[in-house]
Amino acid sequence: MNFKDYIRVIPDFPQPGIRFKDITTLLKDGAAYRAAIDEMKRLVAHHEIELIAGPEARGFVVGAPLSYALGVGFVPIRKSGKLPGETIEADYALEYGKDKLSMHKDAIRPGQKVLIADDLLATGGTIETSINLVRQLGGQIVGAAFLIELTYLEGRRKLDGIDVVSLIQYS
Ligand SMILES: O=P(O)(O)OC[C@H]1O[C@H](OP(=O)(O)OP(=O)(O)O)[C@H](O)[C@@H]1O
Ligand SMILES: Nc1ncnc2[nH]cnc12
């Protein structure tokens, strides 16, 4: 399946100059969505994974089905002010803005092997900060998996030493 055919590119969203990769066109196609998750599962199959962590909101629509497929837990990384328990937080910047991410302090047991999952790797700001939060809680990052990678933004550079896989690349 050519997954790129299912992604819609919208120019100048959410701000001028950004070519937004819209995954809703893939998500609404049941066969394509399932095939994409199955393929991501195949790409990470060599890792020993105990938990998947993914950032709100699109990281949930990739990370949660992947965790179901692998039979492991899912931990949400949320924008600040959304999680009800005690949290740790960190500021971050992404391709078109900045925000604050948070995790529950008891989300991860020290030493747990965690795969980070998100829909898209752009500058890597979101994932770098997600990884820092997971590590702060004692989690061991075993890899990072994305549906889409914007290779021209070189987000991988921020993920030095981490096995990064992506299903679709834009260069
Ligand atoms: O590599 P980066 O430059 O950090 O950009 C990638 C991030 O940007 C998008 O999230 P966004 O903050 O737009 O939130 P959403 O998932 O709630 O739409 C996307 O889902 C990634 O998490
Ligand atoms: N170009 C882009 N399209 C969709 N989501 C993004 N997140 C960061 N950059 C993005």
Is this complex scored with an ipTM above 0.85?
yes
Q: Could you report the per-residue pLDDT of 80-106, keeping only the tens digit for each?
A: 999 999 999 999 999 999 999 999 999
Whether residue 95 lies in the annotated active site: yes
| Total-model pTM | 0.97
* Ligand 2 atom having least distance to the Cα of 18: 1
Whether residue 128 lies in the annotated active site: no
Question: 50 with 112: CB under 8 angstroms?
Answer: yes
Is cis: bond before 14, omega within 30 of 0? yes
- Tell me how far the alpha carbon of residue 80 lies from the centroid of ligand 2, in angstroms: 20
Coarse DSSP helix, strand, coil percentages of the chain, rounded to the nearest 5 percent: 35, 35, 30
Average pLDDT over residues 135-143: 98
- For domain 49-170, which architecture applies? 3-Layer(aba) Sandwich (3.40)
What are the structural domain ranges in the chain? 49-170
Ligand nearest the Cα of residue 94 is 1
Q: Could you report the per-residue pLDDT of 128-138, keeping only the tens digit for each?
A: 999 999 999 99
- Tell me how far the alpha carbon of residue 121 lies from the centroid of ligand 2, in angstroms: 8
Residue 44 pLDDT level (bands cut at 50, 70, 90): very high
Question: 165 with 143: CB under 8 angstroms?
Answer: yes
